[in-house]
Structure 1
Amino acid sequence: MSVDLDKYFARIGWDGERAPTPATLRSLQHAHLLAVPFENIDVVVGTVPSLDVGDLEAKIVRGGRGGYCFEHNTLFAAVLERLGFGVARHTGRVRIGARPGEIRPRTHLVLAVRVPGTDGPRLLVDVGFGSVDALLEPLPMIPGLTRDGRGRRHRLVLEEPEETDGPVPVWVLQVRSGDGWRELVSFTLDPAPAPDINLANWYVATHPRSPFRRLFVQRTLPAGHLALDGTRLTRTAHDGTVTVEEVDGERGVREVLEAEFGIVPPPGVRPRRED
């Protein structure tokens, strides 16, 4: 099943030119991020999210929900392919919070996009990272190139291949933080077929030590960022000012999800999943 473009564009409030151009890609990525929150509610209530495009359309487009990286980027890839972009899917390792030398499993999905009819480099696109440091615009896949995008500065660097990743180089997405660079995610350009993506999705949703077993919701705002981690609500303004407040219990969490994130959650949503 292919995604219904009319319904998707209505969901994200986008009415641009439906042509596979750099401008279309850039505006689509930003519109998606502003409209669709990052959330793991299905995992919290004990469900493995489906990556079937029809199911994603029902949940995110018609149901007004969000999702996590596999859902966001699977849906966005389907939209881009309908428009004529070339899209390759690659799995990556989240490096935020990793210990030096720690090799995490491939639990993230990124997209490498080609604009037809151009000789430019592939573009890294990721609408499923969710954090305050996430990419808001496509990033040319040129090692060392620094790109400012809507107030955030990113670059890609190449590392020598690690034994775990085989003979191919490792790309690392970094964000400018203070006087230095902070690593967000690493990935290689070997293809990630659907069975591998589905396996990673199942692992993230079911593993006892998965960080997504607790409620984690994020939203990109026109002038900032909003994050709900359990019962902790963090607001980050465009100037970097951060305010934190505690949400009062399950009822308070549901109210915040509806009022702040635009999500009407299903029954059984608790700040932390109970086993």
Structure 2
Amino acid sequence: MSELEKSDPEKFDLDAYLGRVGWDGPRRAGPETLRGVHLAHALALPFENLDALSGRAPSLDPADLMAKMVHGRRGGYCYEHNLLLWRALEALGFRVSALAARVVLGAEVPESRPRTHAMLRVEVPGEPLPYLADVGFGAAGALLAPVPLVLGAEFEGGGRRHRFAVLPHEGPSPLWALQAYDRRARDWVSQYAFTREPFAAVDFEVFNWHVGTNPRSPFTARAYLQRTRPDRHLALDGSKLTEIRVNGSVTERELTDEAEVRRLVEAEFGIEVPEGLTLLR
């Protein structure tokens, strides 16, 4: 049994977590709390892969997640974000399980990508359908609000539009895709695809080791950071800095100076860069 699964929700430092993300609203397990905590987390904690860039998979131990992301000036990638949110939601009284997806953004065939992304299935008391919650997808098409797991409806949250679609594939279970509306392309774009059976936290420990240490993983090769603000989304991919405004305007520039990049990462992304780590490669 993994450290997460055998942990006691009552021992989770909910006050510290909610203080870090800036949520001072209700603490009862209801849709308002789920939406509020989800958005607060997405806006407060950056997406970053600096541990993998340093040559090691980040720890998913609950105490280490708290030390790094709640008490430290760091973010994380999908496993860290969503496992931290998992514990927080359980401490708030929600029933939570995990799902695993293939990131299909830019892929022609869903099965060409392995299952490497973690999301959460959340049951809300009094609600007929479970919700998909995900604060760890490092892209401008990521969810800012949890959405009910239902086909045939569109959802808007934080200025972003999403829906679910079913993709053709060879497996016995329906392959759902989370799609985001691309304003520039004026079309729906699949972000990731998944079936709805639950995965255990120990599965993500294996995925995490693969993504965080495999020399073929993009996360071990270059810096990849994302920060969402109410008015813009900021992304650093290697040396390219991209800013997407809520009105859809996009600006890009190449960064060539290591000192400038470190200052930007610390000031704009809110991340304390580990000593000795080179960001431009």
Summarize deviations over 1:197-243 as a string: whole Å, max 9, x none: 11001110111211112100000011110011112111111111111
Residue 80 of structure 2 corresponds to which residue in structure 1? 71
Summarize deviations over 1:75-130 as a string: whole Å, max 9, x none: 000000011111110111000111346521110001111102x1421111100003
Residue 266 of structure 1 corresponds to which residue in structure 2? 274
Q: What amino acid is aligned across from residue 54 of structure 2 in structure 1?
A: V
Asked if 1 retains the 8 angstrom alpha-carbon contact of 2:262 and 2:279, the reply is no
Q: How does 1:1-275 map to 2 (within 5 A)?
A: 1=7, 2-100=11-109, 102-116=111-125, 118-159=126-167, 162-163=170-171, 167-177=172-182, 178-213=185-220, 214-271=222-279
Asked if 2 retains the 8 angstrom alpha-carbon contact of 1:93 and 1:108, the reply is yes
Summarize deviations over 1:136-171 as a string: whole Å, max 9, x none: 1011111121112121110012345534xxx22211
Asked if 2 retains the 8 angstrom alpha-carbon contact of 1:11 and 1:61, the reply is yes
Q: Structure 2 vs 1, CA of residues 208 and 161 (structure 1 numbering), >3 Å: closer, same or farther?
A: same
Partners in 2 of 1:184 and 1:201 — Cα distance?
A: 20
Q: Structure 2 vs 1, CA of residues 62 and 174 (structure 1 numbering), >3 Å: closer, same or farther?
A: same
Partners in 2 of 1:200 and 1:3 — Cα distance?
A: 24
Task: Look up the SS of the partner of 2:51 in the other structure.
Answer: helix
Task: Look up the SS of the partner of 2:274 in the other structure.
Answer: coil
The CA deviation at 1:195 is 2.1
When the two chains are superposed, the root-mean-square deviation of aligned CA atoms in Å is: 1.5
Partners in 2 of 1:136 and 1:60 — Cα distance?
A: 18
Asked if 2 retains the 8 angstrom alpha-carbon contact of 1:20 and 1:83, the reply is yes
Give aligned-pair identity as a percent.
Answer: 49
Q: What amino acid is aligned across from residue 48 of structure 1 in structure 2?
A: A
Partners in 1 of 2:136 and 2:147 — Cα distance?
A: 15
Asked if 2 retains the 8 angstrom alpha-carbon contact of 1:215 and 1:270, the reply is no
Asked if 1 retains the 8 angstrom alpha-carbon contact of 2:98 and 2:201, the reply is no
Unaligned runs of 5+ in 1: none
Asked if 2 retains the 8 angstrom alpha-carbon contact of 1:130 and 1:220, the reply is no
Q: What amino acid is aligned across from residue 34 of structure 1 in structure 2?
A: L
Task: Look up the SS of the partner of 1:266 in the other structure.
Answer: coil
Partners in 2 of 1:23 and 1:229 — Cα distance?
A: 34
Q: Structure 2 vs 1, CA of residues 49 and 126 (structure 1 numbering), >3 Å: closer, same or farther?
A: same
Asked if 1 retains the 8 angstrom alpha-carbon contact of 2:130 and 2:149, the reply is yes
Asked if 2 retains the 8 angstrom alpha-carbon contact of 1:250 and 1:269, the reply is no
How many residue pairs match? The answer is 269
Residue 4 of structure 2 corresponds to which residue in structure 1? none
